[in-house]
């Protein structure tokens, strides 16, 4: 299904990267459950809500707007997790923020217009789900806890967020 976008204007930075913004939407400050939305192109696949910046729009404003449109949530915008560059298939530079959800709408723009769905996942489940079809989005979640990545050798006690202890 094609997604209708009333504003087709794309914005690029000085290096030719398409400017994008996204939010990892968490159920609470623990950041252990993240909200994913179904893809508009592939409704059976999950993605992190985000999209292109409109002209004169700041990344934080675009991130909040995109999660409102795509996921139907509002919340408290937190830290900038990082700026992620994708070079392989598309030149994207995505500003990824953390957002703590405070309000969930019953019906929202993309649910009504294109039947988009949303679902809560544990961070670990979300990484697995995203790894298959959107490995770039999985990288956002991996950045959350760099000290707890599988490549680092830390005991569960040293990684209280990862192990559920604390």
Q: How many angstroms separate the CA atoms of 44 and 48, rounded? A: 14
Q: How many angstroms separate the CA atoms of 86 and 37, rounded? A: 20
Q: Distances from the Cα of 77 to the Cαs of 22, 50, 91, 133, in angstroms?
A: 11, 14, 26, 27
Q: In this structure, are residues 84 and 139 in contact, taking their beta carbons and an 8 Å threshold?
A: yes
Residue 29: DSSP 8-state: T
DSSP three-state, residue 165:
coil
Which residues are marked as active site? 69
């Amino acid at each position: 299904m094609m997604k209708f976008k009333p504003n087709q204007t794309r914005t690029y930075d000085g290096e030719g990267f398409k400017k994008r913004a996204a939010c990892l939407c968490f159920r609470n400050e623990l950041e252990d459950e993240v909200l994913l939305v179904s893809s508009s192109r592939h409704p059976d696949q999950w993605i992190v809500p985000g999209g292109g910046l409109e002209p004169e729009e700041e990344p934080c404003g675009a991130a909040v707007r995109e999660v409102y449109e795509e996921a139907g949530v509002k919340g408290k915008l937190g830290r900038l997790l990082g700026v992620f560059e994708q070079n392989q298939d598309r030149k994207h530079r995505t500003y990824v923020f953390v957002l703590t959800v405070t309000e969930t709408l019953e019906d929202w723009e993309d649910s009504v217009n294109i039947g988009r769905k949303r679902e809560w996942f544990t961070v670990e489940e979300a990484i697995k789900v995203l790894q298959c079809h959107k490995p770039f989005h999985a990288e956002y979640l991996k950045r959350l806890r760099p000290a707890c990545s599988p490549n680092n050798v830390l005991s569960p006690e040293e990684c209280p967020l990862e192990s559920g202890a604390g």
